[in-house]
Structure 1
Amino acid sequence: MDLSYILNELGEDRATYFNAVAPPIIQSSNFACRTVAEMRFMLQHEAEVHFYSRGNNPTVSMLEQKVAALEGTEHAIAFGSGIAAVAAAVLSQVKAGDHVVCIKKPYTWTNKLMRYFLPRFGVEVTMVDGTDARNFDLASKENTVLYYLESPNSFTFELQDIARVTSYAKGRNICTIIDNSFASPLFQNPAAMGVDLVVHSATKYIGGHSDAMGGIVCGTRERINRIFEAEFMTLGAVLSPHDAWLLLRGLRTLPLRMERVAKTTRQVVAYLQQRDEVAEIIWPFLPEHPQYYLAKKQMRNNTGQFTIRLAAESLEEVERFCDSLQHFLMAASWGGYESLIFPVAASYRDGNFRSSMPFTLIRFYIGLEDPEYLIKDLEQAFTKMKR
């Protein structure tokens, strides 16, 4: 399916809304039926029709169709946040007595789901080093029902060999779920490598404007409808029509934004490689990265996230560098128009350092600014770091 068609036309029946170029926000909680027979049909096929917006809404459905097509899957379902999508996807596959194999160091709230939430309900979770695909197979048990991947992961960007992990999973009849937010559906398509459910935080690249929250789960129609009829309808973490409309707007420019972000990131990384103040750059698209060839194999291009390790001897030096940056916002998340930093040093409070990672690590996200603008900002901050 052509990319331009997906982004600009798929799911948009303009004749039904006055031939408006932009789709409307269908801000209705309810959809009326003309006969008892029609209502009976609606109740029996709620996963496929517009009956009540806690289930399906026309504006939300447009978004779901487009993201499913971008990921090359049959269907998708949208949620109010990325972690809502992750949680629903995981819960749809497990019950008490089951076992899950998950990568080490996933996204913070995924980590809490795996380490604290699932065990409360009798689900055992084993965390493994996903850089060696064999670890998934070695950690598997007779009651293993799920492999959870995040490639690359959220802060130090370890990759998993997706095709190898899914081959182990299929040999054992184990479901696979991956968080594909880092790469976006433009630069990596895990379903083509055998993954069963692909999850996105639509808040990130899909939205692209830092003004809407959302999550998406993509998969076969059968798997998505099962999630709809259980976790989605029961837990109610729905995406609002207005936020769906904002995410649709973001999709229009996704290719342009991703190419811009990729190019500027390469320029900023090249600059940082020359700085003595930078002890290490953690980025899978550097040739010296141990998983460089896997990144090139699985992903069509780099994105905007990387982490640096400052050559700093004290927390104060790290703070001076971060506090001196004028054009990088210090904030969570990524994927919008603005460039960001997230310093591990922010975890230092009350006299204790509450992170397993070194305080010298800073995660960067490169947005849509001119590269020279960002490089000048980095340069002036480095001059203040040692003072």
Structure 2
Amino acid sequence: MNYTDEEICTQYGDRPKDNRGAVSPPIYQTSLFTFDTFEAFTHAQLYERENYVYTRGVNPTTELLEEKLALLERGEKCKCFGSGMGAISSVFFSLLKSGDHVLFVNNIYGPTQQLLEHLQNFNIEHSFSNGDVESDIKPHTKLIYVESPGTMLMKVVDLRKISTIAKKHGIYTAIDNTWATPIFQKPITLGFDLSIHSLTKYIGGHSDVVGGAVVGTHELIDRIFTYGFQLNGSVLSPQDASLIIRGLRTLPLRMKQHQDNCLRVIQYLTTKEEVLKINHPSQWKGGAFSFIDDQMTGYSGLLSIELKEGGFKKVAAFINQLSIFKIGVSWGGYESLVNSPIKENNELELIEQGIGTGIIRFSIGLEGSDLVIADLEKGFQALHSIKS
């Protein structure tokens, strides 16, 4: 049966008839499950992926969340984790061995890069694509790992093209799909093997829970269950799984509102002479980016801008004038957030990474675009009082 995204997020799997009519499914807040006989217990231990034995394996609350996420992504199976990095690391630990190579495509989340740098100690190599993915593949490339849109600069790459190249060479593909969520992008339908999420962001949606997920085939998720999940122990608690299920109920509506608010803010930003560049997929259309309409059905509220006159003092002056925008890490909650990678002593490092010294990242929340725009105007006014 084919379910709509809205049906999956709101009603799929709730089974009120099995739960005394409860409209919200119960939270199985338990560490272990008991059995009537020792024979039943030993059988369940042999097949722990299909039986409730210990919450470090399978739990009914977390399992419902996994079913919903797998359906949303149009994948076969999902495994949830205690954090986004728990999900990401599970993929590397489960699929890679000594002598393998990982090819990064696009701007990649910093801790993901740091993890691969650590894995160099175990003879696992990595490199970044220069834009021509096929020419960057090495004989020992095992995994192509993508973010699209990418971290900080929100660049978009052609997922269908990358998955086709990978299949030609027998290489796994994985994508961090947190920016778009399964509402606006479904990489598995474009040929990707694995789609990864930080559930902390839009899917949780309320900045009160940390979690991660990997969606893929039965074969790959079973492998990840054994090596990347159970043996590494990044377990999502039943309580947190319930909070994320709650977040899913409003995900389609929230994503549409994030998009609408963000596009109005971008329209305002295009009028500001202080802005050199706006980094958001909605700004790239046609030509080399004609594939965007094929792989994305909408846009989230995460963007960045680059000021014409950058530097730590300018960026700090802008950010410090904001009040609706809160200064903090992460994104994807109900609140508007602002951040920048610039520090007092890292301008040369940013330039080497291809990131301007006037870059500011905004997560456009649900407060309303008029409030957000008025807040941004205060930041722009502050720039004129700061000498470069």
TM-score of the aligned structures, taking structure 2 as reference length: 0.94
Question: Which 5+ residue runs of structure 2 have no aligned equivalent?
Answer: none
1:261 counterpart letter in structure 2 = H
- Corresponding residue for 1:226? 223
2:373 counterpart letter in structure 1 = I
- Corresponding residue for 1:107? 109
The alpha carbon displacement at 1:291 in A equals: 5.4
The alpha carbon displacement at 1:136 in A equals: 2.3
Provide the rounded CA distance (Å) in 1 between the counterparts of 2:64 and 2:146. Answer: 27
Query: Would you say the 8 A contact 1:283–1:289 is kept in 2?
Result: no
C-alpha spacing 1:313/1:8, structure 2 compared with 1 (3 Å): closer
Query: Would you say the 8 A contact 1:317–1:386 is kept in 2?
Result: no
CA distances 1:249-280 after superposition (whole Å, capped 9, x unpaired): 00000011000000010000000000111111
Match among 236, 240, 243 for residue 240 of structure 2? 243
CA distances 1:30-88 after superposition (whole Å, capped 9, x unpaired): 00111222112211211122110011111111110000000001110000000110110
Alignment of 1:371 with 2:369, yes or no, is yes
- Corresponding residue for 1:18? 20
SS in 1 for 2:138: coil
Provide the rounded CA distance (Å) in 2 between the counterparts of 1:296 and 1:137. Answer: 23
Provide the rounded CA distance (Å) in 1 between the counterparts of 2:286 and 2:371. Answer: 27
CA distances 1:189-245 after superposition (whole Å, capped 9, x unpaired): 000011001100000110000000000000111211111112211000000111111
Which deviates more from structure 2 when the two are superposed, residues 40-49 or residues 214-223? 40-49
SS in 2 for 1:344: coil
1:384 counterpart letter in structure 2 = A
Match among 136, 144, 149 for residue 147 of structure 1? 144
Match among 33, 36, 44 for residue 34 of structure 1? 36
Percentage identity across paired residues of the two chains: 37
Provide the rounded CA distance (Å) in 1 between the counterparts of 2:288 and 2:300. Answer: 15
Query: Would you say the 8 A contact 1:60–1:78 is kept in 2?
Result: yes
2:12 counterpart letter in structure 1 = L
Provide the rounded CA distance (Å) in 1 between the counterparts of 2:145 and 2:347. Answer: 31
Structure 1 residue runs of 4 or more that deviate by more than 4 Å after TM superposition? 287-292, 351-354
The alpha carbon displacement at 1:108 in A equals: 0.8
Provide the rounded CA distance (Å) in 2 between the counterparts of 1:287 and 1:237. Answer: 37
C-alpha spacing 1:247/1:291, structure 2 compared with 1 (3 Å): farther
Alignment of 1:202 with 2:199, yes or no, is yes
SS in 2 for 1:338: coil
Alignment of 1:271 with 2:268, yes or no, is yes
Count residues in correspondence.
380
C-alpha spacing 1:275/1:142, structure 2 compared with 1 (3 Å): same
Provide the rounded CA distance (Å) in 2 between the counterparts of 1:141 and 1:269. Answer: 40
C-alpha spacing 1:126/1:308, structure 2 compared with 1 (3 Å): same
The alpha carbon displacement at 1:305 in A equals: 1.0
For 1:46-125, list aligned pairs within 5 A.
46-114=48-116, 116-125=117-126
Match among 259, 269, 278 for residue 256 of structure 2? 259
Provide the rounded CA distance (Å) in 2 between the counterparts of 1:308 and 1:195. Answer: 30
Which deviates more from structure 2 when the two are superposed, residues 306-315 or residues 159-168? 306-315
Query: Would you say the 8 A contact 1:335–1:367 is kept in 2?
Result: yes
- Corresponding residue for 1:302? 299
Which deviates more from structure 2 when the two are superposed, residues 296-305 or residues 259-268? 296-305
Query: Would you say the 8 A contact 1:344–1:358 is kept in 2?
Result: no
Provide the rounded CA distance (Å) in 1 between the counterparts of 2:341 and 2:224. Answer: 35
Provide the rounded CA distance (Å) in 1 between the counterparts of 2:287 and 2:356. Answer: 20
Provide the rounded CA distance (Å) in 2 between the counterparts of 1:239 and 1:333. Answer: 19
C-alpha spacing 1:289/1:210, structure 2 compared with 1 (3 Å): farther
C-alpha spacing 1:313/1:251, structure 2 compared with 1 (3 Å): closer
SS in 2 for 1:112: helix
Provide the rounded CA distance (Å) in 1 between the counterparts of 2:65 and 2:285. Answer: 38
The alpha carbon displacement at 1:292 in A equals: 4.2
TM-score of the aligned structures, taking structure 1 as reference length: 0.94
C-alpha spacing 1:288/1:8, structure 2 compared with 1 (3 Å): closer
2:27 counterpart letter in structure 1 = I
1:76 counterpart letter in structure 2 = C
2:344 counterpart letter in structure 1 = Y
- Corresponding residue for 2:172? 175
Query: Would you say the 8 A contact 1:344–1:360 is kept in 2?
Result: no
SS in 2 for 1:59: helix
Which deviates more from structure 2 when the two are superposed, residues 96-105 or residues 334-343? 96-105
- Corresponding residue for 1:385? 383
Provide the rounded CA distance (Å) in 2 between the counterparts of 1:295 and 1:233. Answer: 37
2:228 counterpart letter in structure 1 = E
Provide the rounded CA distance (Å) in 2 between the counterparts of 1:38 and 1:10. Answer: 30
Provide the rounded CA distance (Å) in 2 between the counterparts of 1:306 and 1:298. Answer: 19
CA distances 1:298-332 after superposition (whole Å, capped 9, x unpaired): 11011111110112254322211110011111111
Question: Which 5+ residue runs of structure 1 have no aligned equivalent?
Answer: none
Query: Would you say the 8 A contact 2:14–2:23 is kept in 1?
Result: no
SS in 2 for 1:62: helix
Provide the rounded CA distance (Å) in 2 between the counterparts of 1:78 and 1:6. Answer: 17
